[in-house]
Structure 1
Amino acid sequence: MVTQLQEIQATQPIIENQKNRLQIVDILRGFSLLGILLIHSLQQFLSTTSTASRDLNGTDNLIEFLVDFLIQDKFFTIFSFLFGWSFFVIYKSAIRKRQPFVRIFTWRLTVLLGIGIFHSLFFKADILQVYAVTGLVLILCRNFRSKSLLLLSIGLFLCSILSVIFSDKSDIVINALKDAGILIPSKLRFNIVTGRLFTTLSMFLLGFYIGKVNLLNEVSARFQLFKKVALCSGYIFLFTIVGYVLSHNSTNPQVPESVRIFQITITALQNLSLSCLYVSVVILLYNRMSNHKLMAWLIPLGKMGLSGYLMQSVFLYFFYHSEEVLEMSLSMAMAITLLFYITQVIFAGIWFSSFKSGPAEWVWRSLTNLAVPGDTTQPRYPEKHFRRFRNVRNCDQYP
């Protein structure tokens, strides 16, 4: 039976040298920021412009369909998965350095919550608050074995489907609680009835699991595995398309309950399978030596994922609050959005030629450590906190 200590030792190469980051993770994070920017831009366009209140032309209709079909809820899933993987790296690093992990990570999430609250003042679709609150579940699951994490992730994914199926009943319960004087934030309500709360938790734990089994380290040695994942995800995605078409082929305006449940399940499987397909294809492309330099332009933006996410919100706020965009077509708006993404990539490359971390990451880390990251001084913790760890064999007993 593999002990927790053996799992830590097996994954030790990942955290031995923090300067040697896994490039594939930064590439995936930079890639996911593209999808998040595009879907947020579409949502802002549909809610703020006068063009969206009228019928869109053929090109705009096609763009709306493609963004909704290929991006909606897919890149958010990837972003959440990477957050769970990052938790694994932070956790193992804290254990190696004998730092009080629970205290550090709880404070880290508290700082993230503060950033999210500030962010929501000008961008209502903020996800940082959700990450900060649901991230506490990762702390509770930090000592779970790999197989337990995977099973729990699958269970939470199934809960996300059930949450959408019974969204009407969830609404009734939430309204009853509000009538009883219990404060229910609108963001929490949205994440429950849409199933996103459980999807986020599921991806957090899946990312944590992938980190524990060391799957993203030395991906070149697992080329065949990721090839199988890509093929399997592709087949499932094609199956969901057929199921979607067949379930929406009825002319009956009254959709039977069984068909509605099937549609919800198909949509959830479609989102997950396409997310897995995106990740596996990016990894397969990365494994080709000729594509390393081709994909390297995503690395700087991926290294400053939080900064990139916040910069996108600032761009969308000012862009869609300008008078010029009110009569703009969707195709033009999305073209400008893509141009901004390219600008982000260039900016990130220039930034890291002079700095070691992104601006928002610098602030987040400074507030987490209560010290400037550039200082050689490390944050001090009481020596008495570590006395009970002496001669402890199981490292997962650390808090």
Structure 2
Amino acid sequence: MSGTDGQGASTPGGAGARLEVVDMLRGFALAGLFLVHMIASYELYWNAPTGGPVVDTVFLLLLGKSFSLLALCFGFSFFILMDNAERRGVDFTARFAWRLTVLFAIGTLHSLVFRGDIIQLLAAMGFALLALNRIRDNRLLLWIALFCLIGPTLWIQMAAGAGGYDWANRPAGYGHDPAMPIYVRGSFLDVLSANLTYGQAPKWAFLWESGRLFVILGLYIVGLVLGRIGFFSRPEAFVRGRRIALAIAVPLTVLLWWAKSEGYNRFWALRLGTGADRAFATIANMWFELAAMAVWALVLIAAWQWRPAQRLLQVFAPAGRLTLTYYFGQSLVFIPVFYGFGLGLWDDWSAGTRLMVALLGVAAQLAFAAWWLNRFRYGPIEWLWRAATYTTWNIPFRRRTPA
């Protein structure tokens, strides 16, 4: 998901020194993603979306931003693993490819329960990092990242839609979701069957048509470059740069928020076609999410440098080391709560109730993570992932003495 043990040494048993600020960012992103999933009733909200102040606020603050922050952390974790191995004179390329293969298998298993799984996606896109890491020029990497983040396929669709090409003006492929009735009313076996086959099609259609595949790759590259320049390991060297970036990101976020609404209305008035309209809306929303994610990251990093705020944010760090276990566990607990084969509460709980349950869930997860890591080195799935990566069971799991 984000290389939960990615800040450790490249040897099987050693955990190595960690950068807690990155664990904090990952834990915060995981909590935000969980809140979004809960408000969306693990996708069933989209069966009959109603909006409202609670839904709108959570989506405005966290939808797309939490996911983007996790992708950024994944790119950084990749750098840490490869850099640690390089310092030891070890070529970690083949091992990392196998690590991604294992992660993809974990994601595939999770996707049988929750179609919206992102582990599969993060693992699949991670293979591109192995090639990109061979580019030593950071400026070239940033140009590649910029190309990815502008949404190249969306600009092509916008131009083609405005030009009247039929393929660009067809309805979105993810608009047809034959699996949704199964999630609402089907049995558990029906859900597994759908998620194993046709249920995955709308997700991958959305990832392609929304430009998110390129966005993930761009964020991976940014995380890799941030690792190379010591952005997280030497925060004192980037105080001025962070302030400048924040001064740009805040007004840009506001501008893009305007572009999502009023800007879109003005674009729509040009009557360029449904494909062009959809591409414009997607680009504006994508850039808004990226700018807002940057604001979140920069504010959290700045707050981390202030001791009183760091004490408050510290609670997210342990959860950031259990991302796989928690992400998996959240689905196992709450999919039966919302889906038809379980309690079917997706349309019974109000948005306020879902938010309160989610906040209580976050608090419980943060507390349990601190307790767990005081006694164990890894989460259960993180440990299995590490053991599979190095093809050995000889990896310490329990701490000899509480930390």
Of 228, 231, 235, the match for 1:215? 231
Aligned partner of residue 132 in structure 1, secondary structure: helix
CA shift digits 1:20-66 (9 cap, x unpaired) = 211110000001011211221222266269xx74x85xxx6111111
TM-score (norm 2): 0.78
The 1-side partners of 2:146 and 2:54 are apart by: 32
Of 101, 124, 136, the match for 1:110? 101
Deviation at 1:259, TM superposition (A): 5.9
Aligned residue number for residue 281 of structure 1: 299
Give 1 or 2 for the bigger CA radius of gyration: 1
Please say which of residues 333-342 and 40-49 is displaced more in the overlay.
Answer: 40-49
The 1-side partners of 2:302 and 2:373 are apart by: 26
TM-score (norm 1): 0.79
Aligned residue number for residue 187 of structure 2: none
Please say which of residues 264-273 and 298-307 is displaced more in the overlay.
Answer: 264-273
Deviation at 1:249, TM superposition (A): 4.7
Please say which of residues 152-161 and 81-90 is displaced more in the overlay.
Answer: 152-161
Aligned residue number for residue 148 of structure 2: 156
Deviation at 1:98, TM superposition (A): 3.0
Structure 1 vs Structure 2 CA RMSD: 3.1
The 2-side partners of 1:14 and 1:119 are apart by: 25
Deviation at 1:15, TM superposition (A): 6.8
Of 367, 370, 375, the match for 2:388? 367
Aligned residue number for residue 239 of structure 1: 255
Task: Return closer, same or farther for 1:149/1:248 CA change in 2, 3 Å cut-off.
Answer: closer
Q: Does 1:342 align with 2:385?
A: no
Aligned residue number for residue 288 of structure 2: 270
Aligned partner of residue 323 in structure 1, secondary structure: coil
Aligned residue number for residue 323 of structure 1: 343
Contact 2:256–2:285 (CA under 8 A) maintained in structure 1: yes
Contact 1:365–1:373 (CA under 8 A) maintained in structure 2: no
Q: Percent identity?
A: 24
The 2-side partners of 1:352 and 1:163 are apart by: 48
Aligned residue number for residue 295 of structure 1: 313
Task: Return closer, same or farther for 1:14/1:116 CA change in 2, 3 Å cut-off.
Answer: closer
Q: Match of 1:278, as an amino acid?
A: W
Aligned residue number for residue 330 of structure 2: 312
Task: Return closer, same or farther for 1:210/1:38 CA change in 2, 3 Å cut-off.
Answer: same
Q: How many residues align?
A: 350
Contact 1:14–1:217 (CA under 8 A) maintained in structure 2: no
Q: Match of 1:108, as an amino acid?
A: R
Of 8, 27, 31, the match for 1:34? 31
Question: Where in structure 2 are the equivalents of 1:1-399 lying within 5 Å?
Answer: 19-44=16-41, 47=44, 53=48, 56=50, 61-144=52-135, 145-158=137-150, 159=152, 161-162=154-155, 165=158, 169=167, 186=201, 187-249=203-265, 255-257=271-273, 261-321=279-339, 322-323=342-343, 325=345, 326-372=347-393, 374=395
Deviation at 1:294, TM superposition (A): 1.4
Unaligned runs of 5+ in 1: 1-12, 176-182, 377-399
Q: Match of 2:103, as an amino acid?
A: L
Contact 2:37–2:43 (CA under 8 A) maintained in structure 1: no
Deviation at 1:375, TM superposition (A): 5.2
Contact 1:123–1:317 (CA under 8 A) maintained in structure 2: yes
Task: Return closer, same or farther for 1:354/1:171 CA change in 2, 3 Å cut-off.
Answer: farther
The 1-side partners of 2:8 and 2:237 are apart by: 15
The 2-side partners of 1:324 and 1:190 are apart by: 25
Aligned partner of residue 230 in structure 2, secondary structure: coil
Aligned residue number for residue 183 of structure 2: none
